[in-house]
A and B are shown apart, each in its own frame.
Chain A
Amino acid sequence: MKSPVSAAIAIALGLIVLGGYFLDIPVLQSLRAELVTWAMVLAAFAVWIGVINLLSVHWKKAAAHAPDAPYSIILMVSFALTVIFGFLDTGLSATPQTQQIVNSIQLPIQASLMALLAFTLAYASIRLLRRRRDPVSIVFLIAVVVFLILGSGLLPSFNLPVLNDLVATLNRLPLAGSRGILLGVALGALTTGLRIIIGADRPYAG
């Protein structure tokens, strides 16, 4: 058996936390609350690992003089400046100046990237029929147009009773597929979680 200690920890934690959903035992609830709080702290360490790994990859690319090495250097410098500025500005607490990093650098870049989708998706929609011409694609394209119109809020301004009923029904059509997808996701989460809790899957043993 590979890493039995890890498996035992995962199974025990899973049973305790899962038991808390169904059993209202004070001791169990307290233990569960403490364990979940620890998991939150642990998740912050996991964030660090992700960040450090990202940097290590770019460090290697920069050291290897890869074609996009200058960009990797830019990335690392911007990381370093952010961290230094953050610590110098706030010490150990957040202030509006540090928050300006989000509002004045992250937000404009990410929002502009999002805005680019407005152009590329329109182009992709036109080209869709060239790629796929089956009935499902046609239904998809029609649904896109209909929900764009509904989302714009322009259509109901005609204020016709028949249209209102039609719009209400159209609006509820995605509900069927969404509910099916949500139930499918829940069933998937259930089976995957159960496999972990009974020890059949051990994604942590790497």
Chain B
Amino acid sequence: MPLANLIWTALSFIFTLLVLSYVFLGDNPLFRVATYIFVGVAAGYTFLVSFNQVIWPRLIFPLINASASPLEKALLGAPLLLGLLLLTKLFPRLASLGNISMAYLVGVGAAVAIGGAVLGTLFPQGSAAVNAFDLHASQGRSPSLVLIEAVVLLVGTAATLMYFYFGARSLTPGQQPQRPQVVDTTAQIGKYFIAITFGSLFAGVYIASISALVERVYFLWNTLF
């Protein structure tokens, strides 16, 4: 094994043990050292990659490159200016200048979120909830089972959405406003569907953590033997 690889493997081994010391020692200085190093290294690597893979090749290099056309350079002036304005956020006295760049990011982000939500989720998922009743696409399963499943899924989806609906009104003046009975009942059902979904998500997180543990144990074992 080359020396560099040996050093990297040793580092990896040590850091694994430092963090896993938490299992039996609790929060201890070794564990904290490892976590702080992790944050520092992660920040450093992110900083490095942002420069190496984005700012240098897409902004600075084309600007200083003689082969780039004047139009290309002029077009790059805008992101350069916006980027510099964004950096003014680091200085309290100039921070308001950075609002323009923030507005740029927020405006683009809002539009992207709307477009994606409408075209990528609302319409397709809405139609999928309806298409579940298509018995021709049952793929060999019993049509009655498919139908029951589709009804359960539709009710579950609607009930989950209802759970987050807080519209209420009072029928008589002075009365405590309440959700309509239908909405309230559906929301109660939705609570159980949410519990099932969160249960599966929790199980998923647990499975992911077990997978990480298995990978680390494999690494430690293979390093030692």
A and B: direct contact (Cβ < 8 Å)? yes
Closest to B160 in A: A180
A94 touches B126 (CB 8 A): no
Q: Mark A1-33, 1 if CB is under 8 A from B, else 0.
A: 001011101111111111011000000000000
**Stretch from B5-13, B168-176, B177-185 contacting the other chain:** B5-13
CB interface residues, A 84-115, toward B, < 8 Å: 86-87, 90, 92-94, 97-98, 100-115
Known: A14-B110, A83-B44, A111-B215. A139 touches B196 (CB 8 A): yes
- Specify which chain B residues have a CB less than 8 angstroms from the CB of A90 in the assembled complex: 52
CB interface residues, B 129-183, toward A, < 8 Å: 129, 141, 145, 149, 152-161, 163-164
CA distance A39 to B79 in the complex (A): 8
> Interface of chain A, helix or strand or loop or mixed?
helix
B158 touches A136 (CB 8 A): no
Known: A10-B107, A121-B206. A176 touches B153 (CB 8 A): yes
- Specify which chain B residues have a CB less than 8 angstroms from the CB of A202 in the assembled complex: 103
> Interface of chain B, helix or strand or loop or mixed?
helix
Known: A10-B110, A115-B216. A183 touches B40 (CB 8 A): no
> Quick one: which of A51, A114, A118 contacts B46, CB cutoff 8 A?
A51
Q: Mark B74-95, 1 if CB is under 8 A from A, else 0.
A: 0100110011001101100001
Q: Shortest CB–CB separation between residue B207 and chain A, in angstroms?
A: 5
B100 touches A9 (CB 8 A): yes
A108 touches B110 (CB 8 A): no
Q: Shortest CB–CB separation between residue A182 and chain B, in angstroms?
A: 6
B55 touches A148 (CB 8 A): no
B52 touches A94 (CB 8 A): yes
A18 touches B103 (CB 8 A): no
- Specify which chain B residues have a CB less than 8 angstroms from the CB of A9 in the assembled complex: 100, 103-104, 107
Q: Mark A29-52, 1 if CB is under 8 A from B, else 0.
A: 000001111111111111111011
CA distance A74 to B119 in the complex (A): 47
CB interface residues, B 16-61, toward A, < 8 Å: 16, 18-20, 22-23, 32-59
- Specify which chain B residues have a CB less than 8 angstroms from the CB of A12 in the assembled complex: 107
> Quick one: which of A148, A181, A196 contacts B203, CB cutoff 8 A?
A148
CA distance A20 to B129 in the complex (A): 28
Q: Mark A163-191, 1 if CB is under 8 A from B, else 0.
A: 00100110011111111111111110110
CA distance A51 to B110 in the complex (A): 24
B125 touches A179 (CB 8 A): yes
Closest 7 CB pairs of A and B: A143-B199, A176-B156, A180-B160, A82-B44, A177-B197, A78-B40, A13-B107
